[in-house]
Structure 1
Amino acid sequence: MNRLKGHIREIEVAGNLSRVTVELPTGIRVNAIVIETPETASYLELNRTIHVLFKETEVILAKDPQVSISLNNRISGEITSLKTGSLFCEVALQTSAGAIQALISKDTLDTWPLKAGETVTAMVKMNEIMLQE
């Protein structure tokens, strides 16, 4: 599980959903959608320290940081290691926001080669992000 520390900077509420913007120490902003509101969850408070969590399998990697897709949560970093197994490859990144792990299929690695030292962008859909105090 990936875990990055930040502070809640914005909360937008619609019904029982909240879009929470978390600013990481480097100024990178990450958005999460949660099925709670400040009235139902005490942790949803501006400027509160919060952890952004997301699974390794939810990380999408791109070589082009400007790729035109509808994912706004983007963090660029350098590949520090690749551990290839029979089905999957674990890709370790070092970013300005901290370490991020991604899990991609071995087939993807076979057709889309990656190597240590290369810069890629990690992207995560906002509904795949969890918040933890």
Structure 2
Amino acid sequence: GEIIKIDYKDNFSVVEVNTKLGNLFAIVLETPETASYLKEMKPVNLLFNPTELLIFKIKDENLLNMFDCKIIEIEKGKLLSNILLEKDGIKLESLVLTKQVDKYDLKIEDRVFCHIKPTSIFFEVV
């Protein structure tokens, strides 16, 4: 993605990044004054742990960082399930409780909504 806006105060910044998933927000414990990569128009990759990507059946308009995806693979385990998702050629992975997969009755080809908290996103400078 590309950094399009940075708001900062004290020692942290809220960074808005334009991505193929939509505009995503991340909280960074640095500022443009302390980190040279924090510049508007700077390309970055956004990374997160698969346990931090939450899946919903219904879109919550009040949440930032929510986007739709299609389930392309489900690996069900006894306790945890790995769900592979796709949106516009981007593949994402979510690790959830198998109970959630069963409760939501998730299947391959289902359309779902994904949410990632701004505090769970990491930057990789490109």
TM-score (norm 2): 0.93
Which of the residues 41, 48, 53 maps onto 1:47?
41
**In structure 1, the residue corresponding to 2:100 is in which secondary structure?**
helix
Over the aligned positions, Cα root-mean-square deviation in angstroms equals 1.3
Seen in structure 2, the aligned counterparts of structure 1 residues 25 and 110 have a Cα distance that, compared at 3 Å, is closer
Compute the displacement of 1:130 (Å). Answer: 0.7
Compute the displacement of 1:96 (Å). Answer: 2.3
TM superposition outliers: structure 1 runs of 4+ over 3 Å: none
8 Å Cα contact 1:24-1:97 kept in structure 2:
no
Instruction: String of CA shifts for 1:91-128, please: whole Å, max 9, x gaps.
Output: 11111261111011012122221001110011011001
Q: Tell me the residue number matched to 2:87.
A: 95
8 Å Cα contact 1:32-1:126 kept in structure 2:
yes
Matched, 1:86 2:78: yes
Seen in structure 2, the aligned counterparts of structure 1 residues 127 and 97 have a Cα distance that, compared at 3 Å, is farther
Compute the displacement of 1:87 (Å). Answer: 1.3
Greater shift, 10-19 or 108-117, is seen at 108-117
Structure 2 unmatched runs, 5+: none
**In structure 2, the residue corresponding to 1:80 is in which secondary structure?**
strand
- How many angstroms apart in 2 are the aligned matches of 1:50 and 1:25? 12
- How many angstroms apart in 1 are the aligned matches of 2:16 and 2:33? 17
Letter in 1 for 2:91: A
Number of residue-to-residue matches in the alignment: 125
- Fraction of identical pairs, as percent: 30
8 Å Cα contact 1:88-1:104 kept in structure 2:
yes
Which of the residues 2, 11, 14 maps onto 1:7?
2
- How many angstroms apart in 2 are the aligned matches of 1:115 and 1:44? 39
Letter in 1 for 2:3: I
8 Å Cα contact 2:57-2:104 kept in structure 1:
no
1:1-133 aligned at under 5 Å gives the runs 6-25=1-20, 28-65=22-59, 67=60, 69=62, 71-96=63-88, 98-133=90-125
Q: Tell me the residue number matched to 1:3.
A: none
